[in-house]
């Protein structure tokens, strides 16, 4: 039985993209907490936030994390998953947590290149570049706190996956 692998990091760091590739490489299932939440509620993240506020969304996000956690599964989490202490603790205790770290400028450029408004509501109402600087300032320490491993997500998806496979094989060997 293999422990789940949780991918954490800000919006645009590549959790879904590299998560699919990592799951394929390991012959694991792939789950995305935001996708699960949208499927189970039949609402977008933006709809849930509009109806229940961020607090309601965060509560549902925690439920989604628990629901998708399974052995031999790569789990891409929402960027704010680490805001709740219970989520950080749950992930660390249940499996391996990998922080896909990228600079705010890189994240903003990726989000501007592939906007998904319904899926990714603005957190601050400010331009995406400003927002990413602010979000990382608030969350970077929490990402580090939750993570067993930190990977530079500013490389190609293939390079990120290779690095993840390396740290995971070292973790299993120890």
**Tens-digit pLDDT profile for residues 97-153:** 999 999 888 887 877 776 665 445 555 566 777 777 788 888 999 999 999 999 999
CA 5 from chain center: how many Å? Answer: 11
| CATH number of the domain that residue 85 is part of | 3.40.50.300
Asked whether residue 18 is domain-assigned, the answer is yes
pTM of the model: 0.89
Query: What's the pLDDT score for residue 101?
Result: 94
Three-class secondary structure of residue 98 per DSSP:
strand
Q: What is the pLDDT of residue 125?
A: 64
Backbone φ, ψ for residue 90 (5° rounding): -60, -50
User: Domain total for the chain?
Assistant: 1
Q: What is the pLDDT of residues 70-87, one digit of tens each?
A: 999 999 999 899 999 999
pLDDT on residue 90:
98
Residue 14 resides in a domain: yes
10 in a domain, yes or no?
A: yes
Does residue 174 sit within a domain? no
Domain encompassing residue 95: 5-169
Q: Which residues contact 112 (CB under 8 A, 6 or more apart)?
A: 128
Which residues in 40-64 are b (16+ Cβ under 10 Å) and which e?
ebebbbbebbeeeeeeebbebbbeb
């Amino acid at each position: 039985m293999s422990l789940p692998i949780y991918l954490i990091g800000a919006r645009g760091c590549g959790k879904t993209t590299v998560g699919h590739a990592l799951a394929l490489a390991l012959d694991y299932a792939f789950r995305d907490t935001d996708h699960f939440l949208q499927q189970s509620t039949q609402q977008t993240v933006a709809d849930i936030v509009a109806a229940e506020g961020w607090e309601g969304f965060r509560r549902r996000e925690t439920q989604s994390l628990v629901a998708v956690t399974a052995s031999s599964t790569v789990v891409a989490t929402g960027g704010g998953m680490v805001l709740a202490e219970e989520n950080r603790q749950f992930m660390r205790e249940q499996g391996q947590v990998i922080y896909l770290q990228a600079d705010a400028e890189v994240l903003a450029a990726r989000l501007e290149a592939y906007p998904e408004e319904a899926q990714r509501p603005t957190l601050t109402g400010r331009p995406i570049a400003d927002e990413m600087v602010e979000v990382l300032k608030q969350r970077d320490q929490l990402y580090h706190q939750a993570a067993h491993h930190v990977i530079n997500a500013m490389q190609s998806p293939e390079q990120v996956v290779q690095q993840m496979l390396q740290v995971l094989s070292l973790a299993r060997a120890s």
